[in-house]
Structure 1
Amino acid sequence: MNITRENVDALNAIVTVAVAKEDYSANVAKILADYRKNANIPGFRKGAVPMSVIQKQYGKAVLLDEVNKLLQKSLNDYLVQEKLDILGNPLPKVTEDFNWDKEDYTFEFELGLAPEFNVDLTAKTKVTRFVIVADETMLNEQIERIQKQYGKLIPQDKVEEGFDVSGTFSNEEKGIENRTTLSLDIFKDKKTAKEFIGKKVGDVVVLNTKGLFDDDHKLMDYLKVSHDDVHGLDVDVNFTIEEINATELAELNQELFDKLFGEGNVKSVEELKAKIKEDAEGQFAQQADQKFLNDVTESLIENTKFDLPAEFLKKWIQNAGENPLTAEQAEEEYEKSEKGLRYQLIEGKVIVENNLQTTFEELKAFTSDLIKKQMAQFGQVNPTDEEVDGIVARVLSNQDEIKRLSEQIMSEKMINLYKEKVPAKTKEVSYQDFIKEMYGE
């Protein structure tokens, strides 16, 4: 067998595989001999069927199967040996007049080659790394929310200022149907709040979504509207009142502090605020890190220039699935996937050049830490190593879980690397300002 490669250009190549009779004949003969031993053909005793009959009935199918297996193995071995970094899979070139009655065959495969490029993490970027601060307004709101949560609900007959109203927002045309609880000061316009005053359970208040809240993103929480729909949404919604409650706020005393954080861990309102601030900013940091990762990703895609074997990839997409696509469908799929493919190549190079590969020991340690945190949430603060190891073993026996956890580890590694190497200005913002930045406003 002889394999040769012709580089069409930097991104495309043709591999030619020449298969001679001696490459496959021994295997074909052995398989046909086994068929002869076991064949049950009318008119012949088992094991006494003439080879000419076996050859006529099975020969072509066995030949095709053996040559195909030989082709796949030799081509894969060649790609590994030559260390060729290809995109997609090799595509066989169709030969209209191919003749299986010959004894020697020649097959050609098209290859799409991965481009050569450099990733410069230290180049100047327009990326901003946000630090989200829990400001005094947010802390006071959180404390009031806690007081309400642990306070005493007092059912009321009709709505008055300061009461909470539970009910369902609905709009059939937009598919809105969401039960929620409102405090009347949530609305942007005080006139809207006044529409609730004096209403009773069962009454319906008609509201318009445009300018309903001070931030359109709150429509996502209260109406469960998607982010794509919230901006400029201008429809009437019904709010059907189902409950009316006044709340007697819980006192900010040691009993409440102990209930929230354990006995003696918080002893004053100032310590309560500090604890809320610490917890909130810890959660905010994860969101800020994710935005930082996304923004660096976009910057790298935009600033790392390289060509792709586009025509090859379109042809590969066209023929890769169970049902072949039309050229137009393949073009559309390529346009959808090109950006993702570019980042896969960039990410792969970043991982290799910075030695970020994940070891199995790292995966076990990460999973163990995650499980301990989850167990602590359910009151199991000091599980034994044996208990944790048993759960880790069960989790890591699932390939989907291994993939999910490995992606989390790699995401953390990429964030830490980008924090270290990517030039970015740091900006402190409130959570509300961060939400606006997050959605490009």
Structure 2
Amino acid sequence: MPRWPKPPEGSWTEHYPELGTAPMPYEDSISPEYFELERKAIFGRAWLNVGRVEQLPRTGSYFTKEIQAAKTSVIIVRDTGGEVRAFHNICRHRGNKLVWNDLPREETSGMCRQFTCKYHGWRYGLDGQLNFVQQEGEFFDLDKQDYGLVPVHCDVWSGFIFINLAAEPEQTLHDFLGPMITNLDGYPFEKMTERWCYRSEVGANWKLYMDAFQEFYHAAVLHGSQSPAKFSAAAQQAGFEAPHYRLEGPHRLVSTSGVITWELPGDMRKPMEDITRSGLFGPWDEPDLGMEKMPVGLNPAGCDPWGLDSFQLWPNFTILIWSGGWYLTYHYWPTSYNTHIFEGNLYFVPSTNARERVAREMAAATFKEYGLQDASTLEATQSMLESRAVTAFPLCDQEILCRHLHKVAADWVEDHRRNLAGA
């Protein structure tokens, strides 16, 4: 029978008195006016992860990212010097979207030597410089040096590509991430290039889905059907309490112990898990990651067995590192006050045989099901929050990260309001 770790003495929340313990309002998740403030206060100022360097394998590789919360589209490209650059996806002539395929609101990717506008044929180099103007002599005092693509601040940490849409970022990427995140340096993200992706349009505020993935109070109930009945019954009776929470600046961490699935009694595993050697949190066979020791930022609670660390990077990016030698990312891209795009990506060391491939596919299907179960409550939550029949809700100690997320959002919005008032 699995034993869940006991909670620490006292509570986690009491160590962060600025969060308080009062019931929480959710007006920030149901107000169109508040969302309009979030656009500039948060998504116009924070460092945003838009992908990984493996998506740009060679010179001229590019992809686009639609950031509706900031009302823009961005091109991310590897230039001739190997540098990763970012530009607003707009032609300097008449404002046409520069890079798109059949549908201009859909993201795209590919490889090219230059970017050519579909409208009038202006051409831009991989460095953003304007190289060619159709019938240039028809223009008045046009200097091509003045009409390059509009750059976006771009930086890379551990292979993760971040952009910042502010005219001038308030912090470097390294300072923005802080030690809790940068202490993951040395983890071999770059070795995990086998990727499984899923994407969904969700009818709920972006913060509500983040809340669903940053507490495990719901796990034994909402995800009970993911495990055999005997295991689920035991989990529901015991509940689940994570052994470690941490807040640092705008970011959050929850770390959990694990379960050695293949050591559980046979009636506490699913037959398909035995067949594929995968399930209840990933493939059973761990790859050789070539690490002598883990980075200091992993498993801060010293769990044995360790399960996962879930790093919630402000504002809308999550990295979950699993003890089995793989990792998972989530993105939450707002499209309105009560809708957003959810993206999930699973990353593995490339399979070397059919069994490994099937195990990864099993893990991908399992986590898609977890995501669907979490998402199943969101539209119901959104609709009833918007009724305002109840305006404040009690949160338990395990929901400390939810309190923190909404407080950080409120702090950034209030800071933005102060800046507007002082302008």
Q: TM-score range by the shorter chain?
A: under 0.3
The answer to which structure has the higher helix fraction is 1
Task: Kindly indicate whether structure 1 or structure 2 has the higher relative contact order, using CA contacts under 8 Å at least 6 residues apart.
Answer: 2
TM-score w.r.t. structure 2 length? 0.24
TM-score w.r.t. structure 1 length? 0.23
**Which has the higher Rg, Structure 1 or Structure 2?**
1
